[in-house]
Each structure stands twice: as structure tokens, then as C-alpha cells.
Chains A and B, each alone.
Chain A
């Protein structure tokens, strides 16, 4: 702590010195003329940026990210590869596989036979997008979706890949996408957290989801994701203790805020103000959260739309419905994770179950936003952390196989939020192993999401430990072709 106090003092003096110097000295003034940014210490314009106003008029105001944790197999869902069925059981050509590294799980495999999808595909909608029979509800809304079939990532294992997609770095400790958006856009509704997280779990092989994924990293802790759980208390520790009424609570908070203000004046630690804000928000959330979670005013059709599980707390369907309600109430970023997509083996059985879990509710969410006139201002994203291999992991039998991790290509879809509807972007080769057209890197995807929310990914910066950080690190380009 002492170090922070010292730093605070030093920062303050340096800034003051430089700003005075740049006004006072002729040569310094000339210097700043030649290099306009010479004395704009990171602090100055970054603080202005942090004010929470978009850089330019946004297409989308909010994001709902339906994260399919574990990496769903694109070959069984959206990336139709009839050639794989034709070549079933044949070895993948070395020219296709190239120097792609393998995971520890298939590194010792002596053969890599190609495997086609066990499920059939059909074309749907005006856009004639291919969708497998595992996703009948999604198939009905393809004209509202933009499929990106050429996503690729750098990581080959779940945790780094997931962390990379969410925070722009494989290592963690950086702010999550939702935290960046909260930082860049500010609150729409001051009574709810800007960034909320909902978890659910399917029957398939699951992978861990950790709170570091919704961390605020080095950003102010008001931007941290708040997890809504399925129990009696969706937001933990929100309820007043027994015997404390609302009036007492208010008085207590007021006095506490005064004390905190004193210590802020003394130390200047921004975490103190963050804490005061969080207490205040929690106080307002005490009334706002029950209003949001109240299902009694949902029309009966909503249950049919999302499927009956939407009333069973903790299911994916319930989380989708809740996501809509949170988003409708101005929560900037609702992050869902549905676990269980890691089909190394027993893929046909498990993926069918997983698809059944998410298909109806995902499609319902898009339809529901649309019928409320909200889809144009809400960006919905569906996808995992990487793809799966075109060859089988383990033994290939007539009706069973598995697929290993594959970072070179995977499919996601986006809907609403100014993304072109009814579009298929990017292509993979006929074996579904390499991208043949319009590759989209994770940073490109992140840059595009930020762009849709009115943020320039190169300007949304935070200076930390002597370096300027961005969600897209030092790369990324906005995929303009998919923006309407």
C-alpha cells in the first residue's frame, strides 16, 4: 500500500510539472507544436476516454455473448463438409495438416483418419445457409444470423483459448471483454451491474470456467463481471441481514461513504471511490434485481418460445431468458457460459444432447429481441473458443468417434447489433481443416465487436505498469464486410 501512496504522489507531481512546463517555456511549447502528443501524458486523454461515451455513434448498445464452452464441433453444426463423409476413414493428407501442432491427447496417435458428420445438413432461409439437423430452431432464423466460418485462434487448449477470446491475452489477469465495454461505455442502467455472468452446464464433457474470465483486470473494479447464480439469492450477499431495514441501511451507507471520502482525500486510491460506488449500486440493486428476475409478467408464449426449461433456474434456457431481461434493462454485457462441448470421444451422443440444450433457447433469444424491436441495438454472439479436428480422436467406429481441439478454424454466429443479417462470411477448405477465404482472427472479432458498440479498438486504452493496454493488444482489424 505504501508503494501506491508514493506512486500517487509522484504521478501527481510529474503531471503538474509537465503541464506547467509545457505552457511556460517557449521551447517546450515549440516541442509540443512539432509533436502534438509530446506532453499529453497517457493519463489525460485516457481519463477522458474513460468517461464512458462511445467514440462514434454505435450500432449496438448491448452485447449478449452465448459462450459455448468446450468448443462445439463446427463439422456437426454449421460448417457442412460432404467431402469428409466421402473420405471417411482415409488418412488426412499431410499437405492439409501441415505443421499444425497437436494436443497432448492426439500427439501419440499413429493415424489421423478423416471423419464426416454423422448428422445431415440442409439449406435454410433466403440466405441458403447450411445448418445441421441438430439445430432445427437455429435453422429457422438463419436470415437473422451472420455466420463467420473462418474464425481462428492462437491457443490449442481450453483455458488459454477461452482466456484469449475473452481478454485478448492467453495468460489472464487482463480485463475481460465485458469489463472493457463497461469501461468504454459506462452504465445505461445505474441500478444493475454493467457486466453480468450466467453459468450453465450440459451433459457433455465439461471444461472449467473460472472467475478470472470475467475479471476487471487492471481496470477499476466497478467493471468486474457480476455472477448471477441459480439459487434463492441470484446475487450473493445482496440481501440485507435479518433485522436491518432499508432506512438503517441507507444511513449506514451514508456514514460509511463519508468515512471513505476522508480516506480517499488522504490516499487518493481510486479503489476507494470504486468501493463507495459499489455499495451504492448494491443498495439500488436490492430493488432492481427482483424486478428484473420476476418471471410472473412474462407472457405464456415466452415459455413455448424458449422451451419449458426456461423456468428451471440454472439451465441454459433460463439463462437465455434472464439474459434478455438483463439486457432489456440496460446491462451492457451479459456473458453466458454453457459447459460441456468438449467432445473428444462419444461425440455423436454428447453433441446431440448439447445441441438440444442450447438450440431452442439461443434461437428464441434472437426472436425475442427482434419482436421487441431490440435486435438492432443488441449484438448476440454464439460460439466457442476454437474448433474441432476433421480427423477423429481415438478409434473410429461405425457410429462413434471424437474430435480433438483445432485452432485453425471454427464457426461462430452473430445477430443484430448492426451485423449483416442472412450472411455467411469466410470459408474453410473442403476438408474443413484450413481457412480458404476471409480469415478472422480473435483480435479481428474483438475489434469488430467494439466497433459495433461505437468504440475504436485502437483508442480504447488503459495505461498500466508503464504500458498502454488494449483488448486487441497490438493487432486486430474491423471486419467491415459483415457490418451493415
Chain B
């Protein structure tokens, strides 16, 4: 290094030392400008150079007075330059470090140690650099000086590493292995195994005996109960009034928010845990399983204890060909996930089940983790095979024939977590006994079994860590209303007679009905039996009744007798363009329409007229004796669909000589008449005819109460009955 450059470097070193001193004195008042922060962040990048170079320089300095080295000119100049450069680098690194330290997130004792040992290193190195040029500087000084500086350097390095990587970074993997033995759920206590670890992770770095921030110590029960400078930490049972949660819930920007900004924050689950712990009176002794299974604190604590990471299995995967072979149409064997050795097995189709189906699984007994046997006729004896599946976690035996005795075979399933027994005839003594060895068991579904409520209660007491699912009990609910009966006849239109088929989907329901227009009741009305035969068009009113239920709403069914269907039919006047239905086929095709027919899209089966009469001419090849004609019409005043003003029936033996047999004038609906589908018309003196003319006249003027008053009404007919 030439002389001039060396001079500059030495002056820079002095300046740097002064600057560092300045920063150290006014540290608290300094604010690092934004543009300098990147420089500070380069501290971790640069620091490795001064460490390595300085160590080398110190080693060389240590041996400097050896004659071989002392006489070597290159050794001397190189050493001087190296020491200068490395000290200068150390100074720069420290300035960066001090900038970095002013950023948020760095505080505490480790930083202080790092800072002062680092600065100490620089000062020692600087002293060495200038001291070594004096005459009193001899071997002992060189030795002591270099060793001390090197030591300071190493200590500074160590604390620096601790700052970045945390304590025990290097031994971490070893320590973690030893530490991470979660307690068995039976033993776990809410405070000791859930809350305390949370404090340790997130709070203890500032609230420990060495560093009691805010006078608060979170290490033991007494200290936690005592609280800090501001007061007690919590009011048992009342998280809203507790300082602990108030601080946690303050906005992150608030100075009093805990943990402070820059430190690891509490997750939502952890906040909930603290809140529920306080709400449950901040108990320091309570075991997790002493809480009821549905308690929020218990659920959160169980989750915290169990961890959420994906489960790892320690057994080898089964042979793929073997799995392939065991798969058939009624038995699926599939891995839980890609690259997972664990297998899920499902059996289907009762008629193909044989115990052999389970025995064949013996080759993969280690790998089966889920087994679903719902509704298979599995007997107690078959469970012997299941008992071999040592890693089984979930077993579904719903609606099988397992009675309880066979459950003993399952006591070897130490990993079993969930057992479903719904719909099986299991009994209390066998079940209570066979669950004994199953330490991992968490849920047992016992709905619809032979167990009584008290027996389930006893099971709960005996196995507090197991959730027993009872499910729905019909007899405990308030009575419900039955749904109305249904008419099952293929068509409500019949020729000579109709074997009435009233039906209700629920077993054991009694249907009571009337045919005389009166309302049915549960006492006087006839009980429907399958032998009921009707000979005339009838209006049936029916209700369903069953013990333990409210009676149904009333159902109304119209059945129509249609004795004489004409051999041919003609329309004498046209139908509406949009209400053509099936043309002349409409009127005797035994097909009825439904509501909503005013929309052309739904007008199937409804023939309609508005501007002219509906005029039909029916012809019979053989004379028939008729005494009544009715037209099934829709009445929906709201949409302008009215019954006809009049129906005329003409009859005779030739087309040209017809006489009026009867005229019927249906009632014009008044305001508020509900929509209805009605057969309109009537009876007249019996008359033998071969021709029948039916005229229905649409209402010429809609009544005054209606929005469309004065307009012609629409007439819709879907069927005609001649008897």
C-alpha cells in the first residue's frame, strides 16, 4: 500500500471511531433516515469479512516477534496493511450494525452484548494498530492484545448469530427432539400444557426474571396472578375486563399492544385460547378432559395439543399389485393420498358380502387405516379379521349385525380413533368392556342402538375422553303434522267404477275420508280400506292420522266418471290460437290440466275460447242413453279465466234434428273467489241419442269488481264427461 493511501486509511479509521463514539452517545436520539436503512441491512453481508481478515491479522500479529517472521519484510508490510484494512472494515461494519440496531424489532440483552463486544473489538484492534508502532509494545503486549481482541471478536460473533438465528440454533435439532413429547390427552392440563407454552413462545422473552418489562412476570402461577405495574392480569371469568386480553386486542400500532410490534404476534387461535381460559376462570390445575366435550376451550386446547400437521405413518406401503388385486367391483382399496402408505377400504353391496372379503385383507393388515363396512351383514365372528388391522383409525360398523360380543376382538386396535356403531344391536356390558384398551378412541356413534340414555351417560363417565354421539330421538321431539294422503290411481277418470286407492307414505297411518262433501275427522269419517269402490263422479275429502302425530291437512281429490266417449268429435267453432291443446283430442283423452294455464307455455291440455263459443259435436255409432254432461273448467278470476256464462246440451238421433236437453248457468265468481278446477254442467231427463252438441259460452263481460271489467273472459276446458 503506498504511503498516501495508508495515510488516508488511517485518518478514515480515526474518523470512523469518532463517528461510532458519537452514535453510541446519542443513540437514543438518532433516527436513521430511510435511505440509510439499506446500508444498515448490509451489516450481515459485510461482517464476515472483518471477522475472517481480523482473525488472520491477529494470528499473524501473535507470532510477529518470531525472528523468521520479524526479519521478513513482506510479512511486516502485509501484516500492517492487513490489520489496517480489517480494522477499517470492522469500523464500517459496526456503523452499519448500529444503523440496523435502530430499526424496529431489535432490542434486549443479546443486542447489547453484541453491540458492546463488537465495538470493543474495534477499539482493541485500533489500539493494537497504533500501539504496535510504539517502542514499549513487546511480545507480552502483542500476545495479550491479540488474544483479548480475538476473544471479543468471537463473543461478538456469537451474539450476532444468536440475534439472527435465535438461541441454541446449532443444537436446536437435538434439543427439539428431546423436548417435543406432547403429553397424553388424558394427562394434559389446560394451563401447564397449553397456556404456559404459549406464554413461553410469545411473551416470556420480555416477561422473564432477567427482564421484567412492565413489572410483569409470566413464569409461574403466583407471578401471573400477581400481575404487573398496571394491575392484575385478568378477572377470572371475564375476559372482556381482563388487562391481558385488552392489551392483546389493542391495535397493532398502539404502543401498549402486546406482543409489541416487531415481535411474533398471537394467532387468532391463541387469542381465543387465552380468552376462553380466562372465561373458564383461569384455572391453573384443570385437565383438558375435565371440560365437557363440546366446550370451546377444550376443543381449542385439543387442537393446540394435537397439532394440525398432516399425519405421518411409520409403516411401509403395501405392494401395488396386491392392492390392485384386492380391488374389485364391491371392495375398493385405495391409498389415502398420493405417496401415503395408508389405505382406506370400503365394502359395498350386501348380497356380495362374505367373511372371506375381510379375511383376504390380511396381507394389507398393517396398512389399513379406514374401514367402512356400513350395512354389510358383518357378524361378531368376522371382527376377528378386523382385530388384525393394527393401524386402523376409523371403523364404520353402522347397521351391521355386530352385537357387542365381537367388539372384544377390537381391543388390539390401539390406534382406533373413531368407531361407528349406529343401528347395531350392541349392548351396554359388552361395549363398556371392549372399549377399555382403546386409549386413542375419540368418538363412538351409538345412535339407534340398544343403549338407553342412562347407559350412554355411564359410558361417558367411564370414558371421559370419548365423545359418544347419540343423535336424534323421535320420541323426544314435539309432535309434527303428517303430510296429506295421496291419490294413487293412475287416472282420476274412470268408466264403470273405480277401486279407490288412497295412499300415505308413512307406515301405520290411518286415512279417514268422506264422499258427501263434509269435512273428514278422526272419529266419524270412514276409515279408508283398499276395498272402496266408487261408481259415480265423486269429490273425496281425506285426512291422515297417526298416534304421536298431528292429523294432516285435508286433501281433496276429484274422480270423474266418463261412461260414454264419442266415436268421433268435431269442433264447430275454432279454439283460441294459443289454447289449441290437443285439438278435438283434448276433450275425451282422460288427460287433465293443471293451474298456470294462462301462460301459453303451460297451456297443455287446456282448450280455450274467448271470442266465440266452444261448440262440440259428438257422434256415437250406437245410440246411448245420456242423462248428464259436465265440462271440467278452470276458474282463475285473477287472470281473467272465468266459468262459462251458460252451457247448453243438445241431443238427437240425427245431426240436423237436435233438441235442447238442458241449459246450465254456473255461478259467476265474486271478488276474492279462489282459483279452482271444477266440473260444471248438470243432469237432465235421460235421452237416447247418437248426436250430442255441447255449447259453452264464455262470459261476455267480466264483472265490475275486476280490473278487466267489461272485457270477454277466457274459458278453458280440459275434459268433458258424458254419463
Contacts and interface: CB of A to CB of B under 8 A. Distances in A.
Nearest to B399: A297
Given A54-B337, A56-B337, A190-B329, 19 more contacts: A54-B336, A54-B338, A56-B310, A58-B336, A58-B337, A188-B346, A291-B350, A301-B473, A303-B474, A307-B480, A308-B506, A330-B332, A367-B472, A371-B422, A372-B447, A373-B396, A374-B396, A374-B420, A376-B443
A301 B346 contact: no
B420 A372 contact: yes
B332 A370 contact: no
Interface in A283-320: 284, 287-288, 291, 297, 299-301, 303-305, 307-309, 311-312
Contacts of B338: 53-56
B482 interface: yes
Contacts of A373: 396, 398, 418-420, 422, 443-445, 469
A291 B399 CA distance: 14
A303 B506 contact: yes
Interface residues of A, number: 48
Contact of A53 (B335, B420, B422): B335
B303 A370 contact: no
A153 interface: no
A57 B471 contact: no
Interface in A37-78: 52-58, 61
Contacts of A288: 348-349
Contact of B480 (A291, A299, A304, A481): A304
Contacts of A372: 374, 398, 420, 422, 445, 447, 471
Nearest to B330: A191
Nearest to A284: B329
Contact of A370 (B296, B372, B471, B480): B471
Contacts of B350: 291
Contacts of B310: 56-57
Contacts, number: 127
A95 interface: no
Interface of A: 52-58, 61, 126, 143, 186-191, 284, 287-288, 291, 297, 299-301, 303-305, 307-309, 311-312, 328-330, 364, 367-368, 370-374, 376, 422, 454, 481, 484
A55 B399 CA distance: 32
Interface string B334-353: 11111010101010111100
B268 interface: yes
Interface of B: 268, 294, 296, 303, 310-311, 329-330, 332, 334-338, 340, 342, 344, 346, 348-351, 372, 374, 396, 398-399, 418-420, 422-423, 443-445, 447-448, 469-474, 477, 480-483, 486, 505-507, 549
Contacts of B346: 188-189, 330
B448 A190 contact: no
- Interface residues of A: mostly helix, strand, loop or mixed? loop
Nearest to A280: B329
Contacts of A191: 329-330, 348-349
A235 B348 CA distance: 19
A328 B444 CA distance: 17
Contacts of A367: 471-472
Given A191-B329, A330-B348, A301 B448 contact: yes
Contacts of A371: 422, 445, 447-448, 469-472
Contacts of B507: 300
A446 B577 CA distance: 49
Given A288-B348, A371-B470, A55 B505 contact: no
Contacts of A291: 349-350
Contacts of B303: 484
A101 B423 CA distance: 54
Contacts of B482: 308
Contact of A190 (B332, B335, B372): B332
B483 A312 contact: yes
25 contacts: A52-B334, A54-B338, A56-B337, A57-B310, A57-B337, A58-B336, A126-B294, A143-B294, A187-B332, A189-B332, A190-B348, A191-B329, A191-B348, A287-B351, A304-B474, A312-B486, A330-B346, A367-B471, A370-B469, A371-B422, A371-B447, A372-B398, A374-B420, A481-B268, A484-B303
B472 A305 contact: yes
Contacts of A58: 336-337
B8 to A, nearest CB: 46
B320 to A, nearest CB: 12
Contact of B349 (A287, A301, A308): A287
